[in-house]
Amino acid sequence: MSHVVIINGPAGVGKTTISFKLAEMLPGTINISGDAIRWFAPLDVGQYLGPGSTYRAGASLTSAYLRMGAPRIIFDYVFDAAEKISRFCRWLPPDTPIYLFTIWAPIEVVIERVATREGREPLGDLTIQTYREVERNLRFLGCTVQNTASPEAAASEIFAKIAETEGAPAAGFARNAS
């Protein structure tokens, strides 16, 4: 059965890199970056489309790929609260299995990664704000995966957790997030 893997976490924690590594391990996987979707929109998009437009657009694109027959879709983005996970999931087809993983690392590691990302503007205080918000809600954001060793190790851990469920959603099934 087709399923969705949400890779969540604060800015700079390694979501996109881990998503690419995980997609390499799972042939036929569609890998969608919420950041890439966000780049389509103007800075004032919320004024025109309302809050959460990136979540809705991401879920719509995910749904389109599910309808086309993709075996799995990875969606990586910052979901700092369970309500944002729910907002995303409401736009998916009913009964779609959803696996939710939140990538985590110490704040010092995240700050260093954000500062050294090539081709991306520094996020400044936003890095710490999103980190603290995710940290505050971590228990509601699925299965936590540490990204302190390597992105490959984190992707392998996610791969193993999905495989061990044998088709049943992993801990932190997003539709039940409150």
pTM for the full model? 0.88
Mean pLDDT of 82-110: 93
pLDDT at 175: 43
The second-level CATH assignment, the architecture, of 3-176 is: 3-Layer(aba) Sandwich (3.40)
What strands, in cross-sheet order, belong to the sheet with 143-146? 29-33, 72-77, 3-8, 98-104, 143-146
pLDDT above 90: percentage of residues in the chain: 61
Q: Are 99 and 5 in contact (CB under 8 A)?
A: yes
State the pLDDT at residue 123: 60
Distance of CA 53 to the CA centre of its chain: 15
